[in-house]
Amino acid sequence: MPSIKDIMQTMEYGPAPESNSEVRAWLDERAAGLGHFINGRFTAPGDDLIEVVNPATEEVIGRVPKGVAADVDAAVRAARAALPKWAALSGFERARYLYAIARHIQKRERFFAVLETMDNGKTIRETRDIDIPLVARHFYHHAGWAELVDDEFPDHTPVGVCGQIIPWNFPLLMLAWKVAPALAAGNTVVLKPADLTPMTASAFAELLVEIGLPAGVVNIVHGDGETGAAIAGHADIDKVAFTGSTDVGRVIRRQIAGSGKKLSLELGGKSPFIVLEDADLDGAVEGVVDAIWFNQGEVCCAGSRILVQEGVARRFFEKLTQRMKTLRVGDPLDKTMDIGAVVSKKQLSRIEALLETGKAEGATLNVAPVELPKRGAFCAPGFFTGTASSHTVSQVEIFGPVATTQTFRTLGEAVALANDTRYGLAASVWSENVNRAIELAARVKAGVVWINGTNMFDAAAPFGGYRESGFGREGGRSGMLEYLALPADKKGKPRPAPTLVPQVQPFTGKADLPEIDITAKLYIGGKQARADGGQSYTVIGKSGQAIGQAGLANRKDVRNAVEAAGKATGWGNVTGHNRAQVLYFLAENLSQRRAEFAAALAASGASPKAEDEVELTIRRAFWYAAQVDKFDGAVTATKSRHVTMTVNEPFGTMGIVAPDEAPLLSLLSLILPAIALGNRVVAVASQSHPLIAARLYQVLETSDIPGGVVNLLTGDRDVLARTLAEHDDVAALWYCGSEEGSAMVEKASAGNLKSTWSDNGRLRDWRDPKQGQGREFLRRACQVKTIWLPYGE
């Protein structure tokens, strides 16, 4: 034992282990294996067991079954049976259960923290100070939503039975992020923890028994990817919520395409950590510690690409190297450790292989001078220098405690580097100049931006990605909406197939209406354009006669339209006031030509009450014009001394595929909310009644809508929809068509994981403002960016 004098000399830390005797006793009692938790009871563990390993000691600490289809089915049936009663409870009653969960977690914080550390390898400091307190916070916050759900979300109902699949990096926290909003909204749950870290979920299930949560409301099925696939694919699941790798997210998107299941995906990231030359460099260095060395770097939103302005780069890296020397890696139960074990030996090899790739591609790996424990899955923290955007390690998630680094000169360069990734989960910006920091926050494509901070989370702050980091948000009001449905989401009547197959023969008939432009063109980039293939198709009117021809657009026309939309970036930057004016002007111009539109609609045979449809369309334009500068983000109460802003940002280019019914009203009901929020659209007009589109572009032209903001195509709905779904520059796609078309669109959109909204071939009453108009359309037309801004010294 060193004397106090020696310690004062060396300032060495002695070991400070957290006791795990209570957890050991708990584990010993369950050594034979933990069962699934189905319908309020634990199943017998059975024979096919997965060994649960403490990655720091390589000891087996438990066993769980590998759930098979029958287990999943039993769990789904239990959740289905429990749903009506649970959904019918008052918000107050559901809130009491959630409060009870929160209270019990708090009472047992230390137990859960130690168990999580032993299962995952993360340090006790983090489980004790971050994971478990955030779990309790999440249940408290959502107890509040349960209480308020009727007031705050009128007309909404629970989605139903939710299948939830979570990863191993924050096991209990991810469970809380999934279970709390689902229960608050009145849903029931089948959740699968990661096979690497199932222990705290089982302990949580025991807690549910203790507080008397009704049987079947939460079911936990253990298992691996196959078990997860069985949950996602189960026919009686209404919603799938997944957190994990982008690859698996894509698999699930394709697997459930066309099923009508609601889906939220929280996937990988390669988040930039941007240090400007006016940053507090010491603060930024501490930021790196929390960005990439937090949780062994196994963090989806880790600041894994450090971007430093050239003038301070050398100084910054010197400081970082110094700071790295003080990091302590070792026994995660030791309260003085900064870094514990990564989750498994397999994950360690994955990390090591990527580090080798980085070196082989020419980058230099700087590692902390630490001595790693002889046993266990430990990885030395570090950072690469000499990395370029093209390097593998700059593009793929290492998911270990190593960042890449790059330098930049100007703000513009920083933005370009930051956005040079397929992901868009988070970003961290360091600058003492609030103007610059916020400018970067606005220009970075990421769902969460921390200014002078990193990896901050709160139950009230929406979290989730742009681009291939997924879609949907967890936390706060946006998170609740992922677990709620509207009447219009319920299965309506199936939509009839388009009334005619496109024909390519030249039109020889005579139009019913002499003033109709009988060879309607496409509208691309603010100009009328002939269809690329030079083809058109015959349009049949009310009396069954040909009334004109419309351009038969092809893939090339879609690409041209997307390109034109991509150039019209100014639209997202003008003020809401300006956009509102343009929308009012559009309403006014429509109104001046109401008789002409009514006549055309009547001739099309698509609208029994043509005049009403035009009138409703005008009203709708007024409604969205009114919303432009009112559909606001919010300032959310999170941590003290932070302003946390949620901003509704446009996607960029959206694809819109309009249905046949109410062809004018439905087309504009889709285009207006999208452009109101600053998106540009490539819209495919009704296949059967396309001539309305040709009239519309004359109105667009006279309404000061800049070229490229609205592009109108006509032709074969599903051919055009597929091209839009596959196009990487289309960020979101709304599709109204057939059931098969919805499946096709959802499957094809998995490439860049675009946000899709398809109606599964079900009719919606566009005339009813509750179905054809509303905040839901606006919400679907934007993505929430959460910006954290600290204040004070």
Q: Interior CA angle at 695 toward 692 and 697, to 5°? A: 110
**Residue choice 133, 214, 225, 260 for contact with ligand NAI (CB under 6 A):** 225
Residue with Cβ nearer Mg ion (196 or 368):
196
* Contact range with ligand NAI by CB under 6 A, out of 159-167, 357-365, 477-485, 616-624: 159-167
H or E, element range at 701: helix 691-702
Nearest by Cα to 761 from 741, 744, 739, 743: 739
Residue nearer to ligand NAI on the CB measure, 398 or 562 = 398
Binding test (CB under 6 A) with ligand NAI, winner from 27, 229, 306, 685? 229
Q: Which is closer to Mg ion, CB of 197 or CB of 607?
A: 197
CB of 168 to ligand NAI, least distance (A): 6
In b/e form, how buried is each residue of 455-471, taking b as 16+ CB within 10 angstroms?
bbbbbbbbbbbbbbbbb
Q: Using the rule CB under 6 A, which residue among 65, 67, 158, 167 binds ligand NAI?
A: 167
Burial 175-196 (b: 16+ CB within 10 A, else e): bbbbbbbbbbbbbbbbbbbbbb
Measure the CA–CA gap between 315 and 665, rounded to whole angstroms.
60
Phi, psi of 243 (to 5 degrees): -125, 130
Count CB atoms within 10 A of the CB of residue 412.
Answer: 10
User: Closest approach of Cβ 320 to ligand NAI, in Å?
Assistant: 23
- Residue 607 interacting entry, from Mg ion, ligand NAI, none, C-beta within 5 to 8 Å by type: none
Per CB under 6 A, the list member of 23, 185, 207, 300 interacting with ligand NAI is 300
Determine which residue in the list 194, 441, 610, 733 makes contact with ligand NAI, applying CB under 6 A: 194
Question: Three-state SS for 728?
Answer: coil
In the sheet with 519-520, reading across from the earlier edge strand, the strands are 519-520, 546-551, 536-540
244 binds ligand NAI (CB under 6 A): yes
Number of residues that bind ligand NAI (CB under 6 A): 25
Shortest Å distance, C-beta 145 to ligand NAI: 23
Please give, one letter per residue, the 3-state secondary structure of 393-413: HHHCCCCCCEEEEEEECCHHH
Q: Does 302 bind ligand NAI (CB under 6 A)?
A: no
Q: Between residues 281 and 300, which has the closer beta carbon with respect to ligand NAI?
A: 300
Site for ligand NAI contains 524 (CB under 6 A) = no
**Would you state the structure tokens that stand for residue 541, as one six-digit string?**
């009117």
165 in contact with ligand NAI (CB under 6 A): yes
Residue with tokens 């209480």: 147
397's contact among Mg ion, ligand NAI, none, with CB below 5 to 8 A by partner kind, is ligand NAI
- Catalytic residue, from 18, 126, 266, 298: name it: 266
Rounded least distance, CB 303 to ligand NAI, Å: 14
**In the complex, least distance from residue 532 CB atom to ligand NAI, rounded to whole angstroms:** 39
For tokens 């046993």, name the residue: 375
Among 160, 158, 190, 186, smallest CA distance to 39 is for 190
405, interface contact from ligand NAI, Mg ion, none, CB < 5-8 Å by kind: none
Q: Footprint of ligand NAI on residues 335-354 (CB under 6 A)?
A: 350
119 binds, among Mg ion, ligand NAI, none (CB under 5 to 8 A by kind): Mg ion
Whole-angstrom distance, CA of residue 481 vs CA of residue 476: 9
Q: What is the largest CA-CA distance in the chain?
A: 105
- Where do contacts with Mg ion occur on this chain (CB under 5 A)? 119, 196-197
Question: Is 266 labeled as catalytic in the residue annotation?
Answer: yes
Question: Which of these, 250, 777, 167, 784, lies nearest to 480 by C-alpha position?
Answer: 784
300 binds, among ligand NAI, Mg ion, none (CB under 5 to 8 A by kind): ligand NAI
The Cα 160–Cα 176 span in angstroms is: 18
State which residue, 267 or 306, has the beta carbon closest to ligand NAI: 267
> Taking CB positions, which residue lies at the least distance from ligand NAI?
228
Considering CB distances under 5 to 8 angstroms, the limit depending on partner class, which of ligand NAI, Mg ion, none binds residue 211? none
Q: Does 243 bind ligand NAI (CB under 6 A)?
A: yes
390-449: contacts with ligand NAI (CB under 6 A) = 397, 399
For residues 268 and 246, what is the distance between their CA atoms, to the nearest angstrom? 5
Neighbours of 497 (CB within 10 A): 13
Do 564 and 602 meet the contact criterion of CB atoms below 8 Å apart? no
Check residue 587 for interaction with ligand NAI (CB under 6 A): no
Site string for ligand NAI, 245-264 (x = CB under 6 A): x--x--xx------------
Part of the chain binding ligand NAI (CB under 6 A), chosen from 183-191, 223-231, 689-697, 743-751: 223-231
Q: Is there a contact between 394 and 270 (Cβ–Cβ < 8 Å)?
A: yes
Q: Which two tokens stand for residue 715?
A: 């032709």
Please name the residue ranges forming H helices in 727-764. Answer: 739-748
- CB 209, CB 63: distance < 8 Å: no
CB of 409 to ligand NAI, least distance (A): 31
Interaction of residue 645 with ligand NAI, rule CB under 6 A: no
Counting DSSP H helices and E strands in the chain, the numbers are: 29, 32
State the catalytic residues. Answer: 266
Which residues would be at the binding site for ligand NAI (CB under 6 A)?
A: 165-169, 192, 194-195, 224-225, 228-229, 232, 243-245, 248, 251-252, 267-268, 300, 350, 397, 399
